[in-house]
Structure formats: C-alpha cells, structure tokens
Chain A
Amino acid sequence: MNVPIVELKSAMKEYVNGALKVTALRGIDLRIDPGEYAVIMGASGSGKSTLLNLLGCLDHLSRGDYLLGGENISKLNDDELSEIRSRRIGFIFQSYNLIPQLNVLENIEVPLFYQGVPEPVARLKAEELAKRMGLSERLGHKPMELSGGQQQRVAIARSLVCDPILMLADEPTGNLDSKTGQEILELIDELHAEGKTIVMVTHDDDIAHRAQRVVRFMDGEIISNVWNGEPKV
C-alpha cells in the first residue's frame, strides 16, 4: 500500500581489488516500510556495513536496483547522491564522527550547510535539537570536551537536522558503556515511536529485541528476515 522507504531488488555488490574479487552482497531483496525499525545482524564480514553504505547512498550497487522512497537511485551521479545524502539520510556512526574543530551547534548544522539553508534558520533548528538531546549546556563545546554519550547525542541531533526519511546507525552503542548505551537506545526508541524509519546494525541480541524486524546476514546473503513487531498501521 505505502511506498516502501527501502526497496532492494537483487542487490549485488562486488569489490574488485586488482585480480581479487570479493562479493559482499549476493543479490539480496529487502523491503523496509515507513516507520519501521529494522536491525541487521550477522558475523563480522557478512556484509552489514556494505549494506548500510549502500542504503546511505555512499556507494553504488554492482548490480540490481535500489529504490529509496520510491526513487531509483542506482543510476544517479556523485553530485545527485550527495544531494540525497544531505536531504534524506541521517547517519549515526559507532565512533560518532563529529568534526573536531567545530562546536556542538556547528556540528549539528553541517548537513544544513550543504543544503544552503541560511545560517539563522540552521542555528534555530540546531539549538532546538540540541536542547531535545539534553545538550543545552554544551552548545559551544568542542567534541573533545564531551563524553562519549554526549558526543553520540550530538551525532543523533545532526542526523535529525535535515528531517531524513531514513536513519542509519552502525553499532551506535559499540563504543559506549552499557548504561550510556541504554540511554542512546532509548532515544532511538523515542525516534521510532515518533515514526522515524530506522535501520541499525548491531551484534547484540538484547538490542535486537527492541526492533520490529531482524535481518540476519551470512556471507553476503540474508539468511533470515523476521518480523516480530505488531502489525503495521
């Protein structure tokens, strides 16, 4: 009924390094609907990050098609992909990936900077999100001056700033202690409750229980795709 946010059709990804050819994704099909919270699991090297990079428009498929919100992006050029990343994708990384010389507000504003959003507008939006993430006291601080949990909150605020249709998180709690990790996961739950579409890579089975859909990978193939949430609205 609804247009899916993510639709992969026989998606295949090969890495070619000279004579060496690695197939990271072996023709997978995957559909994620609006408002879904999906978790990707699998052993190291099974292709989880490759999938996330493709979903985040950082890379091209070798074969197959990728429809993001109904738009086929397989054939887009580099500039068009950049545009899509800045407007439709929110990234949350395991190692936060904040820009060290920028303060909290400036870091949150980066995606808007590349959209050409006027500075005062961007500033307002960044302040609002920072407040929501509980960072009101830290607006002028550099990432180095923040704890891991605070840095990840900045990163989440940054990923939300452009109202993305798809949020991608690669082990967002991997660098955090369990208590702080728990807080971050609760934040993500909140976002999900608000209707955000989230795809998260994790190793942790406990974390997987929070999600509605669990997709398991092995050697570049989906070995299970389990729906354990309530029926979609």
Chain B
Amino acid sequence: MTSMRPERMVKLAFKNLGQYRLRAGLTMLGIIFGVCSVVAMLSVGEGANQEIQEKIQRMGSQNILIKSVKVPSEESGQGGRRSLVASYGLTYDDYEELSRFVPNLEANTPIKRLRYDVQFKSRRLQTDVVATMPWYLGVQNYRMIRGRFLTTTDMEYGSPVCVIGTRLARMLFAGYDPIGKTLNIDKDAYTVVGIIGDLAQGEVRLENELWMEGENQSVYIPFKTYQQKRGDLFIQLSKGGGTFEKIELHELILTIDEQENVVSAVDAVRRVLKRNHKKEDYSVVVPLELIRQARETRRLFNIVLGSIAAISLIVGGIGIMNIMLATVSERIREIGIRRALGARRSDIVLQFLMETLLLSISGGVIGLVIGAIIPLAITATTDVKTVLTFPAFAVAFSVSVSVSVVFGIYPARRAALMDPIEALRHE
C-alpha cells in the first residue's frame, strides 16, 4: 500500500509552489487581506463594545436614573399668559412616593445639580454643584481620596461643608491642601472636608478650560444645607432678561437591591411618575436597559462584521481556486507523468490540496500577524480602544483555511480525474 508521509507531501508542495513565487505571493495576498481585515475589524469592534459596556456599567446596573427635563413652555398657559415662574421637573412628592411604592428599593438619592461660580482666594471658575445625600458616594461607586464624605450629621444641621472632585482640587487649590480651606460657592462659604475621585472617568486635557465636564470637577454639598440657603427657586438668565425657574429635584437615583428586580422597579417608577406629572417633564434612564441595547447593537454589529468577513474570506478562497485551476491546467502533463509512474488519484488530490493548504496557512499566519499589528497601531496612535481576542484569531484563521481547502478541492479533483493517457499527450 502506498503510504506517503505528510512531511514529504509538504516538501513536494513547497517545491511545486516554488515554481510560481509571484503567483503564490499574490494568491496569499488575498488571504492575508481577508484574515487581517477580519482580525482588525473584530478587535476594533470588541474595543468599542467594551468601552460602551464600561461606561454603562459605571452608571450602575442596579440604578435607575431619573432627571428633570424642561419641556417647551406652552405659550398659551393659563389665561394665555406666560406664568412668571416656570415650575417643572421632579418634586419632593415624587421622592416620597417613589420611596414608598417602588419595590425592592435599596436607596433613593435626591440630587440638586446647579452651575455656580466657585472661588478659592482669588481663583474662581464655574462648575457643577451637587447637593445630595451621604449615601451618594456608595451609589455612584466613587472613591474617597482624602478626608470624609458628607455625613448624616451634616444633613441634620445643614452644615456648610463640601467635598470636591480630584480635578477641581488640583485646579483650584494648586499649591494648597484643600482640606479645611474655605470654598465660596456664589458668596456662601463652605469648608472642604474631603476629596473624591472616580478613577475610571477620563479627564479633560485642556488645562486652561474653565468650563469643565465630569464629576471630577464637581462640588458636593449636603442636600439640606442647599435647601436652607437657597430654596428651590432660582433665576435662569437668558437673552430677554431672566426668568424664574422652580425645580425641586434635578435628579433621582433609585438603587434596586438585585439586577433582576430592576425591570419591575422601572415599571413602578414610570407608573408613579405618570400619575404625578401631567407633562412628561422627566426622563428615566435605565443603565441595565442600555446594557441590553448595547448587547443587541453588538449582535447586529457582529452580524454585519461577520458578513463582511465571510465575503472577504470567500473572495480569498475564490482567488485560491482560480490560481489552483490555472496551476492544474498548466501541469496537466505533470499529472499524466505522475499517474503513469504510479500515483493514485488520491495522491494527486493530496498533492494539490497540500499546495492549497500551504498557501492558505502561510497567508493566514501573515494575515494574523498584520491583523494584530493594525489594532495595536490604532490604539497607539489614536485614543480608539481595541481589544485582541483569541476567538477573533481562531475564527479568521480557521475559516480562511477551511474556505481555501473547500475551494481547493475542485481543482485538485479535476486534476485527479483526468485520463492519464490524455494528460500525457497534453502539450
């Protein structure tokens, strides 16, 4: 029985492909592009996905966020006249009722969030002032960097204390230790008792920017203190002078005990708010739903990517078939000679399949390497996040090799089924 060892077949395949270096190279190029584009696409896709997931996760998958929303003021209010005070958004009643009616509620965190000028000595800038509860820290997963957060005692007495974000500490207090210093929030004096940070949150790079974003630049004060000092009314400055606005609560963060209870809690929230509000002057954001949506988006994304990948890999496979057909038809005589000298049909099939395999595996390996370099280069030069995953490599490589083999079978069989006498006579 004929028993040809694989390494001899590989050696033969190398020798045979050596005749067509340029052609073999061009064929491999098709596979290289296919594999490397698949790997690069999947890496960029996975990076984007993880970034979104992290962002959403940071909002807290057990949280339900409710925000006050200013609805377009209807010109024909009561008596066709615009009321003097625009009153909208979440109310203390909402807070009470949600606390009572939302099942599995672990914490209910009311928040007032307003923009004020803050000042330390002669340095001043504009930033968010967040008036909230002591448990805000835990609900938001922030870390204490120094000092302490707001306490129930602060709440009871309405103490004029504040906690500041790391970035604000750096900008406003450069050269000083902020703890114990006095920070003026629009004329009112507060004592800094702590600094909090959110490691995950990226900081804005521009150093001289006064208008800052993010929680790292915020000032946190006891809810009660703000209520006592300022109340719920404030002036919204606009082009035509100023209008009074009344908002009792800017935000509410409802924390549910378990993730699986979030959906039913959201239903209860919507029901309560619908009952209490004539207009929809609030919005409900559910991070868990966002996560689900992100997953769904990702699924679609994967399907689209997968199709593109499949097409590029199939194009590579067709390239291989094309080349192998050309190779076979140029080597009909060789096939005849080999058959006359004792090659079985299966030997011929194997010979050409081995050449195909060699092309696709080497193309695949080069493609993987380039496909890994591209995302790394993207991450190095831009701030786009990319993630190399093993499945991406495995899928790209195995699909490209199997596609090539499938497309290589036809030319190889065609070679093997040739009549040896005809093949020998072929010029």
Contact = CB atoms under 8 A, between A and B. Distances in A.
A86 B342 contact: yes
B15 A102 contact: yes
Given A56-B340, A58-B421, A91-B340, 6 more contacts: A58-B420, A58-B424, A59-B421, A83-B344, A113-B4, A116-B2
B340 A85 contact: yes
A62 B344 CA distance: 22
B333 A111 contact: no
A93 interface: yes
10 contacts: A58-B420, A85-B341, A86-B342, A86-B343, A91-B340, A91-B341, A99-B338, A111-B342, A113-B4, A116-B1
B3 to A, nearest CB: 4
A116 B18 CA distance: 23
Given A86-B342, A91-B340, A115-B342, A101 B421 contact: no
Contacts of B341: 85-86, 91, 110-111, 114, 158
Nearest to B3: A116
A72 interface: no
Interface string B392-421: 000000000000000000000000000011
B15 A114 contact: no
A56 B305 CA distance: 56
Contacts of B343: 82, 86, 114
A101 B334 CA distance: 10
Nearest to B340: A91
Interface in A45-64: 53, 56, 58-59
B167 interface: no
Task: Give 10 closest A-B pairs by Cβ, nearest first.
Answer: A86-B342, A114-B342, A116-B3, A82-B344, A111-B341, A85-B342, A101-B19, A97-B337, A79-B344, A110-B341
A71 interface: no
B339 A82 contact: yes
Contacts of B342: 82-83, 85-87, 111, 114-115, 162
A190 interface: no
A93 B15 CA distance: 24
B297 interface: no
Chain B interface size range? 20 to 34
A100 B338 CA distance: 12
A119 interface: yes
A101 B15 contact: yes
A206 B341 CA distance: 30
A204 interface: no
Interface string B322-362: 00000000000110111111111111000000000000000
Interface string A90-132: 0101000111111000100011011110010000000000000
Nearest to A56: B340
Given A82-B342, A97-B333, A114 B347 contact: yes
Interface of B: 1-5, 8, 12, 15-16, 18-19, 333-334, 336-347, 420-421, 424
A102 B18 CA distance: 11
A186 interface: no
B8 A115 contact: no
B9 to A, nearest CB: 10
B332 to A, nearest CB: 12
Nearest to A80: B344
Contacts of A53: 421
Nearest to A159: B341
B348 to A, nearest CB: 10
Contacts of A97: 333, 336-337, 340, 424
Contacts of A79: 344-346
Nearest to B423: A58
A14 interface: no
A99 B15 CA distance: 12
A204 B424 CA distance: 23
Contacts of B3: 116
A113 B8 contact: yes
A74 B255 CA distance: 87
Contact of B8 (A58, A87, A119, A158): A119
Contact of A110 (B1, B18, B338): B338
A13 B100 CA distance: 101
B102 to A, nearest CB: 78
A106 B4 CA distance: 15
A163 interface: no
B34 to A, nearest CB: 28
A31 to B, nearest CB: 24
Nearest to A114: B342
A114 B421 CA distance: 18
A98 B334 CA distance: 8
A145 interface: no
A28 B337 CA distance: 27
A114 B344 CA distance: 8
Contacts of A158: 341
A110 B339 CA distance: 10
A183 interface: no
Contacts of B346: 79
A85 to B, nearest CB: 5
A119 B7 CA distance: 11
Nearest to B424: A97
Given A53-B421, A59-B421, A85-B341, A99 B334 contact: yes
Given A58-B420, A99-B334, A78 B2 contact: no
A20 B112 CA distance: 99
B342 to A, nearest CB: 2
Contacts of B2: 82-83, 86, 114-116
A111 B344 CA distance: 11
A139 to B, nearest CB: 16
Contacts of A110: 337-338, 341
A121 to B, nearest CB: 13
A83 B2 CA distance: 8
